Amino acid sequence: MGAPHNKKRYGEVWQQDRISLSLMELQFLRKFVTLSGGWAWHFLSPEGHTEYKHAHDHKDIDVFVDPKHVAEVMYVLHQRNFKKVWTRYDHLQSEESFRRYEKTVKTDEGKSIRITIDFFVKSAVPSRFVKDWNVVDPTFLLSLYNNIHSSDKCWAVQASIGLLAKNIDPLDREELVTIPKE
pLDDT tens-digit profile of 154-181? 888 889 999 999 999 999 999 999 888 7
pLDDT digits (tens, 9 = 90+) for 10-61: 777 878 899 999 999 999 999 999 999 999 999 999 999 988 887 888 789 9
- Which pLDDT does position 82 carry in this prediction? 98
What mean pLDDT, rounded, does the chain reach? 88
- Which pLDDT does position 150 carry in this prediction? 60
Strand ranges in the chain using DSSP code E only, listed in sequence order: 33-36, 61-65, 83-84, 97-106, 112-121, 127-130, 133-136
Confidence grade of residue 1 (pLDDT, cut at 50, 70, 90): very low
User: Bridge-partner residues for 37, per DSSP?
Assistant: none
8-177: CATH class: alpha beta
Break the chain into its structural domains and give their ranges: 8-177
155: number of Cβ within 10 Å: 21
Confidence grade of residue 2 (pLDDT, cut at 50, 70, 90): very low
pLDDT at 152 over 70: no
- Which pLDDT does position 54 carry in this prediction? 73
pLDDT at 5 over 60: no
Question: What letters, b where the CB count within 10 A reaches 16 and e where it falls short, cover 44-58?
Answer: bbeeebebbbbbbbb
76-101 average pLDDT score: 83
- Which pLDDT does position 12 carry in this prediction? 77
